[in-house]
Amino acid sequence: MKTIARGLAVWLAAAALAPAEPAVPAEAPPAGRSFSLGVHLAYWDLAQLKGLDFDGNLGAGAVGHIPLREHVAVELRMSGFAAGEERNIETADGQRFENDVTIVSMPLEANILLKAPVGRTLVLYGGPGLGYYLFDGQSNSKLGDKTLVYDIEVADELGGYLVAGLRAQLKPHVALYLEGQYTWVETRIKKATEVRREIGIDWVAQELDFSGFALHAGLLFTF
């Protein structure tokens, strides 16, 4: 993930240093305050998360882009992520369980963007945002033919983030974008006492830090 982040930083820096071309873009987006809708695939790195052996969240998202001025826009974002972990657990009485824990997150976010055209078809952008992060979880434990299923109540929380990216206009109504986002949000397990009592999971009372870097790649359609 660090390699991907460094690659994004190098790409953005190179684009920022590219010489500007005064000519009118060959594939300029529609003029005026046109609404744009983007869809992307995403990877949310969870390096700060303790207690669960998750490498990261895979997911997808959608963004609504509303220009306010020539170089200023507001965005509304909605994403969905899921991460899982499998463990082999032995209880105090010697029983062995295959335990599968899944945590699902749904960020609902809004941010301001400042945009800077670079060259004929490229746009650098970035800005701060706020979000409300919905979480849920489930634990499945298998003992032979028997499966124990428990819901894990995870608190929904407010958080903040910074986003920066590069957009390349492919056609007047279609653009490709690559962006990085760093989110600050922490949550906690609200209720999982039955899971702890039955199968001995040791992380149920912990705070969960979902702060981390996410990489998005997708298409933006302008109407």
What CATH number corresponds to the domain at position 216?
2.40.160
Is 37 inside any structural domain? yes
Please indicate, yes or no, if residue 25 is contained in any of the structural domains: no
Indicate whether this model's pTM tops 0.85: no
Q: Does residue 67 lie in a domain region? A: yes
The reported pLDDT for the residue numbered 207 is 80
In a domain, 109, yes or no: no
* Domain boundaries, position 196: 2-18+32-103+118-166+177-222
Q: Is the pLDDT of residue 191 over 90?
A: no
Q: How many residues does the chain have?
A: 223
- CA end-to-end span of the chain: 34
Q: Within a domain: residue 218?
A: yes
Q: What is the mean pLDDT of the chain?
A: 81
Among 81-85, 125-129, 151-155, 189-193, which is the least confidently predicted range?
189-193
Total domain count, the chain: 1
| Residue 25 scores a pLDDT above 70 | no
